[in-house]
């Protein structure tokens, strides 16, 4: 693969010599592993991949790409559905070797390098019985998740991931290291709390910690698909009545071949609830008892368990290398007709790996003003995610069509907002304003100040003025 703009080999060799990490070109061992991401629908080939080992490598990459007019992309955990972490023909910064984590128990924060996966951070913070507000799947990257907003089992108590950010270290387009926090560069800090990767390469995040674990009550429980309407009603009641310590996610899908589900159920429709109670064990056991006693479950592994085990529970369900296509909307409540349509579209799923999911969100994030950070959407009570997942390119059309038609029918219940991190590649051009709402204009100002040439454009891009 040729570099888009011809660069002399000696210049590339000189660049390579300045790096501590490897510089890979097509054909090198590790090149394909690095450029392929979670979503196999994305197949781009950077001319160069820098596997950075430290901040100095990142600075060298930014300077090299800028001076040689190369397109630059940044890969954190490689889990974004739109695949913008990987560019064609340019330089890709692969952050996956920068996974240091330091807990500071005096300030009650954790510092994490931007290549970390969620599990890296949880592993270290749980030594102290603490947790940062991160997502539901431990092999997702913290960088993309955080820069786009971030939510998980602790969001009802503490808000978006970005509501819990304390500071960020970032490399600007001119190769300088800057710190951003409420006190230092507060405009940039505001923009980074949900504005995506628009302003620079983040090298480190600092998050507030909360006492959580090391054990919680949580897990998953499933009923037959024919019980879906009752399970959705249970979810609605829990969403309206549960304390913020209890978070539930409801999903409809064909049963995976998991050991906790009987063999005769595998491949048949199920309705499942994922549950986490992050307060005391005693209170948690009391609160989940009626869920466990509800109807006739076909499998139930809600129990006292390490918080880390809950965070790992879903890792195998959405492996790297399958084909994925998502559609998503925010809802401000649980309209009975919406739940009916949710059930209906769950019954049309085309692949054994697909699911239709509602993530419960209401709580702390609704109590913060909309302009606190760009992620906004403070009227959201639940997120719909229609997750088509399949294996063969021949099945692209029917799976994509299923997701699109379910979304077409259900978007009538939307707040009009959508989650930046769930946008597919085709939506990047037309739904960014929905994701950021009224906060978009302020993001344009910040982009114009920090990246006036739009050097960082391989992202959910905000063109500078
Ligand atoms: C299986 C799965 C589960 C998920 N669960 C959740 C969940 O529970 N909660 C939730 O909120 N989201 C969830 N998501 C969505 C997730 O937040 C996004 O996919 C997110 O972008 C993943 O981050 P990443 O670092 O892995 O992404 P990548 O694909 O590596 O990066 C995405 C984009 O982020 C930017 N970026 C990455 N690193 C940097 C950096 N160092 N500096 C500047 N910009 C950077 C770039 O623009 C890049 O294109 C999930 C996704 C998947 C696939």
- For 220: left if phi > 0, alpha if psi spans -120 to 50, otherwise beta; the answer is beta
DSSP string, 292-327: HTSS--SEE--EEEEHHHHHHTTGGGS-TTBEEEEE
What atom of ligand 1 comes closest to residue 149's alpha carbon? 11
pLDDT at res. 412: 96
Q: Which of 51, 82, 141 to mutate to test the pocket of ligand 1 (most atoms within 8 A of CB)?
A: 141
The verdict on the CB of residue 355 being under 6 Å from ligand 1 is no
Backbone angles phi, psi at 361, to 5 degrees: -125, -20
Reference 115, options 136, 92, 89; nearest CA is 92
Which token pair is 112? 């994490």
Gap from CA of 67 to ligand 1 centroid (Å): 28
Backbone angles phi, psi at 194, to 5 degrees: 130, -5
Q: Which of 88, 92, 140 to mutate to test the pocket of ligand 1 (most atoms within 8 A of CB)?
A: 140
The verdict on the CB of residue 80 being under 6 Å from ligand 1 is yes
pLDDT at res. 5: 59
Reference 150, options 175, 126, 121, 183; nearest CA is 121
Contact between residue 403 and residue 388 where contact means Cβ atoms under 8 Å apart: yes
pLDDT at res. 1: 47
The verdict on the CB of residue 457 being under 6 Å from ligand 1 is no
pLDDT at res. 338: 97
Rg for the chain (alpha carbons), in Å?
22
For the stretch 143-152, pLDDT in tens is 999 999 999 9
Reference 257, options 271, 245, 242, 268; nearest CA is 268
233: which residues sit within 8 A by CB, 6+ positions away?
Answer: 339
Gap from CA of 77 to ligand 1 centroid (Å): 6
Burial of 425 (0-12, 13-18, 19+ CB in 10 A): middle
pLDDT at res. 2: 47
The stretches in the chain having pLDDT less than 70 are 1-5
Say how many C-beta atoms besides its own lie within 10 A of residue 210's C-beta: 18
> Which pTM value belongs to this model?
0.96
Reference 41, options 446, 390, 450; nearest CA is 390
Backbone angles phi, psi at 401, to 5 degrees: -65, -40
- For 254: left if phi > 0, alpha if psi spans -120 to 50, otherwise beta; the answer is beta
pLDDT at res. 7: 86
- Determine which residue's CA is closest to atom 3 belonging to ligand 1: 137
Gap from CA of 4 to ligand 1 centroid (Å): 26
- Determine which residue's CA is closest to atom 8 belonging to ligand 1: 135
Gap from CA of 146 to ligand 1 centroid (Å): 7
Question: For 140, which DSSP code?
Answer: S
Say how many C-beta atoms besides its own lie within 10 A of residue 292's C-beta: 14
The strand order across the sheet containing 48-51 reads 23-24, 48-51, 91-94, 72-75
Dihedral sign of CA atoms 404, 315, 42, 96 in order: positive
78: which residues sit within 8 A by CB, 6+ positions away?
Answer: 37, 38, 85, 86, 96, 141, 320
Reference 136, options 148, 124, 120, 153; nearest CA is 153
Which token pair is 282? 């005693």
The verdict on the CB of residue 137 being under 6 Å from ligand 1 is yes
Q: Which of 78, 135, 317 to mutate to test the pocket of ligand 1 (most atoms within 8 A of CB)?
A: 135
333: which residues sit within 8 A by CB, 6+ positions away?
Answer: 381, 382
Gap from CA of 37 to ligand 1 centroid (Å): 11
The verdict on the CB of residue 271 being under 6 Å from ligand 1 is no
The verdict on the CB of residue 459 being under 6 Å from ligand 1 is yes
CA angle 120, 109, 93 (to 5 degrees): 45
Say how many C-beta atoms besides its own lie within 10 A of residue 8's C-beta: 9
The verdict on the CB of residue 171 being under 6 Å from ligand 1 is no
The verdict on the CB of residue 197 being under 6 Å from ligand 1 is yes
């Amino acid at each position: 693969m040729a570099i888009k703009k011809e660069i002399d080999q000696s210049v590339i060799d000189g660049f390579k010599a300045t790096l501590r990490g490897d510089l890979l070109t097509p054909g090198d061992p590790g090149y394909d592993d690095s450029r392929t991401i979670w979503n196999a629908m994305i197949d781009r080939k950077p001319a160069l991949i820098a596997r950075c080992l430290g901040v100095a490598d990142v600075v060298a990459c930014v300077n090299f790409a800028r001076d040689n007019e190369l397109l630059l992309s940044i890969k954190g955990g490689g889990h974004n559905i739109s695949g913008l972490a990987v560019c064609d023909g340019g330089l890709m910064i692969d952050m996956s070797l920068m996974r240091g984590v330091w807990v500071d128990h005096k300030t009650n924060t954790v510092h994490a390098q931007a290549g970390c996966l969620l599990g890296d951070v949880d592993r270290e913070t749980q030594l102290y019985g603490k947790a940062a507000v991160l997502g539901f799947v431990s092999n997702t990257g913290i960088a993309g998740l955080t820069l786009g907003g971030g939510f998980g089992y602790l969001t009802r108590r503490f808000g978006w991931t970005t509501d819990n950010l304390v500071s960020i270290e970032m490399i600007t387009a001119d190769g300088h290291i800057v710190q951003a926090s409420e006190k230092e560069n507060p405009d940039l800090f505001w923009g980074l709390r949900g504005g995506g990767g628009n302003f620079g390469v983040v090298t480190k995040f600092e998050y507030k910690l909360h006492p959580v674990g090391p054990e919680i009550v949580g897990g998953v429980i499933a009923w037959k698909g024919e019980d879906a309407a009752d399970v959705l009603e249970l979810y609605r009641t829990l969403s309206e009545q549960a304390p913020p310590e209890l978070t539930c996610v409801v999903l409809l899908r064909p049963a995976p071949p998991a050991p906790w589900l009987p063999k005769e159920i595998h491949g048949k429709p199920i309705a499942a609830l994922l549950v986490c109670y992050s307060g005391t064990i005693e209170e948690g056991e009391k609160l989940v008892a009626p869920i466990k006693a509800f109807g006739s479950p076909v499998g139930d592994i809600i129990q006292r368990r390490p918080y880390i085990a809950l965070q790992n529970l879903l890792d195998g369900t959405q492996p790297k290398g399958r084909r994925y296509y998502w559609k998503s909307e925010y809802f401000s409540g649980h309209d009975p007709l919406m739940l009916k349509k949710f059930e209906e579209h769950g019954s049309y799923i085309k692949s054994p790996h697909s699911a239709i999911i509602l993530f419960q969100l209401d709580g702390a994030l609704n109590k913060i003003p909309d302009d606190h950070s760009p992620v906004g959407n403070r009227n959201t009570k639940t997120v719909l995610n229609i997750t088509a997942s399949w294996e063969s390119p021949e099945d692209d059309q029917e799976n994509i069509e299923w997701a699109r038609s379910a979304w077409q029918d259900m978007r009538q219940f939307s707040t009009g907002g959508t989650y930046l991190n769930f946008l597919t590649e085709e939506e990047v051009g037309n739904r960014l304003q929905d994701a950021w709402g009224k906060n978009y204009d302020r993001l344009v100002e910040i982009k114009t100040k920090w990246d006036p040439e739009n050097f960082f454009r391989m992202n959910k891009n905000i063109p500078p003025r």
